[in-house]
Amino acid sequence: MHEIAINNVSYAYGSHEVLRDVTFTAEAGEFICLLGPSGCGKSTLLRLLAGLDLPTSGGITLDSTPITGPGLDRGVVFQDYSLFPWMTTGQNIVLALEQAFPGKKKSEYREIAQGYLEMVGLGSAVDKLPGQLSGGMRQRVAIARAFSINAPVLLMDEPFGALDAITRARLQDLLLTLWQQNAGERKTVFFVTHDVEEAILLASRVVVLGLNPGAIRGVFTVELPRPRVRQELYLKEPFLVLRDRLVTLLHENILSELEAGETVASVGEGI
Ligand code: ADP
Ligand code: MG
């Protein structure tokens, strides 16, 4: 059981209301994609789920226990700055393991870290510094670290946003493969993206957030069987229908913002 319930959550930075009355429950083992235009509050919601900030009103629970701060029950992967640059990839993972599973021998931690690096195809990079790796490799290390602590919940904020299309596709496949292993113990995932196709490829359900304030505009179940093969998916009727609905919903939201006087630059940058 790793159910996450977001109950009437609102959040404001000072007088700037970002999220209003967000209510949503992710069942254990679901893969939820949060989709919405730039600035709608996706990262803010993820920070609340991570416990890095607390809601202005409302609350979030993990298996009925309120989230009041960061915890080892949630692995986190952000777009950048995920790894400590002065530590090797192995040391980065060992540090997380020491916090999650205290009391083991140094050599044991190193062995476990090595195993997780091998899982993401980076077994030979254990002694490399993050600065010696490509962006895609660094994100693979961040994924290995998030999985290494064996947290039941995974929170990812546009983790592949800065990568080229091919690396991005590879990491999407890697993430799905890891998530689909051990079907009985699937992690509950919240994955932020502003990419409609990425959301459909990955998600069990897509939650669309709108702008000003960030509120849920729609929740869509993705009725496509797994494993999902990218090339085949793009030809399937349910994929095309859902993509059309999501694109329309995002554009309606952005157009209504433009009519309300927003500048093109501020609402357009994420699309
Ligand atoms: P998204 O991730 O969907 O692009 P964010 O959650 O980062 O959106 O931001 C939502 C809104 O909150 C934006 O208008 C942004 O400018 C504002 N915001 C984000 N972080 C802060 C902060 N630390 N202080 C004040 N406003 C912020
Ligand atoms: Mg963001």
Distance 43 CA to ligand 1 centre (A): 7
Which of 95, 121, 150 is where one domain is finished? 150
Q: How many domains does the chain have?
A: 2
Our answer on whether the CB atom of 2 is closer than 6 Å to any ligand 1 atom is no
Query: One-letter amino acid identity for 41?
Result: G
Same domain, 44 and 99: no
Indicate the residue among 150, 168, 199 that finishes a domain. 150
Supply the residue whose CA is at minimum distance from atom 6 of ligand 1. 41
Q: Is 61 in the pocket of ligand 1 (CB under 6 A)?
A: no
Give me the residues near ligand 2 (ion), CB cutoff below 5 Å.
43
The whole-angstrom separation of Cα 108 and Cα 105 is 5
Judge if 127 and 89 occupy the same domain: yes
Query: Taking 50 as the threshold, does the pLDDT of residue 267 lie above it?
Result: no
Residue 243, judged by CB atoms within 10 A of its CB (0-12, 13-18, 19+), counts as: middle
User: Which of 113-127, 173-187, 247-261 is predicted with the least confidence, judged by mean pLDDT?
Assistant: 247-261
Q: Considering every ligand atom shown, identify the ligand nearest to the alpha carbon of residue 38 and give its number.
A: 1
Domain that holds residue 166: 27-53+65-73+152-271
Average pLDDT over residues 165-181: 90
Q: State the pLDDT confidence band at 253, using cuts at 50, 70 and 90.
A: confident
Residues 6+ apart with CB under 8 A from 7: 23, 58, 59, 60, 61
* Distance from the Cα of residue 183 to its chain's centroid: 19
CA of 18 to the centre of ligand 1 (A): 7
CA pair distance 264, 252, nearest whole angstrom: 14
Residue 113 inside a domain? The answer is yes
Per-residue pLDDT at 81 exceeds 80: no
What's the pLDDT at 252? 82
The residues that bridge with 10 in the sheet, in sequence order, are 57
Residues 124 and 210 in one domain: no
Do residue 158 and residue 259 come from a single domain? Answer: yes
| Ligand in closest contact with the CA of 40 | 1
Ligand 1 and 44: CB distance under 6 A: yes
Ligand 1 near 53 CB (within 6 A) = no
- pLDDT tens digits for range 200-250: 999 999 999 999 889 999 999 999 999 998 989 989 999 999 999 999 999
CATH number at residue 38: 3.40.50.300
SS3 140: helix
CA distances for 163 relative to 50, 80, 159, 173, 189, angstroms: 24, 11, 9, 14, 20
Contacts (Cβ under 8 Å, ≥6 apart) of 70: 50, 51, 52
Task: Kindly report the number of other CB atoms within 10 A of residue 52's CB atom.
Answer: 13
Q: What pLDDT sits at residue 134?
A: 92
Q: Is residue 160 part of a domain?
A: yes
**Omega before 227 within 30 of 0, i.e. cis:** yes
**Judgement on whether residues 90 and 165 belong to the same structural domain of the protein:** no
**How high does pLDDT run on average in the chain?**
90
Are both 69 and 126 inside the same structural domain? no
- Taking CA atoms only, the protein residue closest to ligand 1 atom 27 is 13
Q: Averaged over 106-113, what is the pLDDT? A: 96
* 24-28, 58-62, 90-94, 180-184: least confident range: 180-184
Residue 54, pLDDT > 90, answer yes
The predicted model gives 28-56 an average pLDDT of 96
The pLDDT of residue 264: 40
The answer to whether position 78 is within a domain reads: no
CB of 38 sitting under 6 A from ligand 1: yes
Mean pLDDT value of segment 162-171: 88
191 plus 132 within the same structural domain: no
> Does the reported pTM lie above 0.85?
yes
